[in-house]
Amino acid sequence: MCGLLAYLSTDAERVDQARVDGVRHALHCLHHRGPDDTAVWSDGHTVLGFNRLSIIDVGGSPQPLAYAGDRYRILFNGEIYNYVELRAELRELGAEFATEGDTEAIVAGFHHWGPDVVHRLRGMFAFVIWDTETGTAFGARDPFGIKPLFTARLADGGLVLSSEKKALLELLGGSEAAGGVDPASLQHYLTLQYVPEPATLHRGIAKVESGTRFTLAGGEMTTERWFHPRFTPRPVPAGAAQQLYDRIAEVLEESVAKHMRADVTVGSFLSSGIDSTAIAALAHRYNPDLLTFTVGFARESTSEVDIAAESAAVLGVRHVPVEITADDFAAAIPEVVWYLDDPVADPALVPLYFVAREARKHVKVVLSGEGADELFGGYTIYREPLSLAWAKGLPAPGRRALTRIAGLLPEGVRGQDLLRRAATPLEQRYYGNARNLRDDELAALMPGRDRDLSHVQVTEALYAQARDAGYDDVTAMQYVDLFTWLRGDILVKADKMTMANSLELRVPFLDPEVFALASTLPLEMRTPRGRGHAKAGTTKYALRQAMRQIVPPRIMDRRKLGFPVPTADFLAGPLHDWARDIITSSQTEQWLDRTVVLGLLERLRAAAAAGAPPSKRTARQLWEVLVFMVWHGIFVEERIAVDVPETVYPVTL
């Protein structure tokens, strides 16, 4: 788990000492990703820089790592959990190793298997291999996009790749040199709560997409998708359900066992849900002294901290809770947004930052439960096709009638949104697990929006693929989420908030073997439906049944909180003035109507003053804008200075 920065060119004249110094300077932007070691290597064609967080083969495996004499140099961010098995297989092919780590397994695999090495890697990764003999580069990202990789072209034609966008901004010379704010990406952000891959909020910087590999030859970069997630549901024979549950438990335990491979201490995040609880319970089998961590806000209602502490006591693991206040929350925002690179409007990333900061005082690696919902059908929105089944076959006139009825109802009345969604085909209404702004609300907030641009452009190819594969509506939604919400929100905040604290996060659910099994589950084993089914509407049904042999019964059916953030209460109360200051000082009038934004804030304050609960939906919309305004103040206006702390931690092993 580290930070890489590569400058690649085929023109020897372009790599001079100034370019090497530039890479070295920009590499400091990634110091938090790897404070254990920093190295820069160059030849006539490339400059490779690396900040290392030592996890496996702590005393060896320095990067940029050489292989086959000095033919190859590799930069690798991530972990390969089957590296032991790969090294054994490669030795039989004649491979020789100078280290004990997983990095060398990748480059040796590339030497012997070529680009198809990616199909053999079980882990999370973003890597670049420079072949000094052919003057070409090869690289790839993991199947789900756990580890990031950004790319841009410099003015001299050289290609640069980095684990974080801020290093590329440094090399390019700032926001304007990077093409300025991309209005299409901003519009998508306001709809989706994140900027969808491969775009970023800067025109001149892109992401290498999840599950793709690339080759650089003759100065040209070509990419291809190497991982195509496919759902192949098949019925479970009568009487074979328990065998399936046992198999799920077995595969997940095997994944956790491999994810526990490290030469440093491994802990686990723990929330109120079954996903993180199951991971912690399985990890405890391999580490009896397992430390777990959770975060929450001190409130009168049930706290995530209280529930997680109860789970930890039942599991018999040691537990470290973190509680934060509204002031803590607000004070951290500029730093959090700086680490993000691009805005992500998920308030949960702030408590995640705090729990990662506390965890890093005790461990160097944590396990977490991301990915279970997308793979096993865990989001409550996946129940929507059941509730809207009555409208699925409606002809166009019937859908138009529903739209008219919804429009006649007072705004916000119960059932209005249901009618709107019933009138809208799945391909138009579902674009991932985020629904912040309707078209009319976006029009008011962003008057200069592109009326021909919508979220449909982000998802239409995915729905076409889902139709070609014959997926039902729920499976199509899961498929869309793999390319939208999972890699745009869930994995971004997981990577950025943990690496901000030099902490490695591992996600055992997002394992090729786990996905291979989850992808075969029939619909009734994900979200059962049908009036006669005792668990109709239950999410992650098969996973819940499988986890009953792992998670104690008193925890199993408890309502999940996640990492809940009282955003509405904060913005209506203690953070009202803070939010107003951000809005009035922001120089984003080119993009957003400040009056509309202030209206959202005052709507929350008015509700609180009247003794009514402030609208969570309004708070989400406002939070989305505030995050963008802070981002703009840091990266575009350069008005907000972020005091990034030095990455010095007491735990080294």
Among residues 317, 324, 303, the alpha carbon closest in space to that of 267 is found at 317
> Which two three-digit tokens encode residue 74?
């590799």
Return the amino acid letter for 393.
G
Classify burial at 93, counting beta carbons within 10 Å of its beta carbon; exposed 0-12, middle 13-18, buried 19 or more. Answer: exposed
User: Which stretches within 484-586 are classed as H helix?
Assistant: 485, 491-499, 512-518, 541-547, 553-556, 567-572, 576-585
What CA–CA distance (Å, rounded) separates 271 from 312? 10
Which of 2, 251, 344, 518 is the catalytic position?
A: 2
Catalytic residue status for 2: yes
Residue 8 CA from chain centroid, whole number:
27
Contact 391, 422 (CB under 8 A): yes
Return the amino acid letter for 628.
F
Contacts of 357 (CB under 8 A, 6+ apart): 501
Q: What share of the chain is helix, strand, coil (3-state, %, to 5)?
A: 45, 15, 40
Contacts of 72 (CB under 8 A, 6+ apart): 66, 107, 110, 111, 129, 130, 131, 132
The DSSP letter of residue 400 is H
Angle at 22 between CA 16 and CA 26, to 5 degrees: 150
Residue 594 CA from chain centroid, whole number:
30
DSSP 418-465: HHHHHTS-HHHH-SSS-----HHHHHHH-TT--TT--THHHHHHHHHH
Q: Which 3-state string (H, E, C) describes 586-601?
A: CCCCCCCCHHHHHHHH
Among residues 624, 629, 615, the alpha carbon closest in space to that of 568 is found at 615
> How many other CB atoms are there within 10 angstroms of residue 108's CB atom?
25
The DSSP letter of residue 613 is P
The DSSP letter of residue 409 is S
Q: Which residues are catalytic?
A: 2
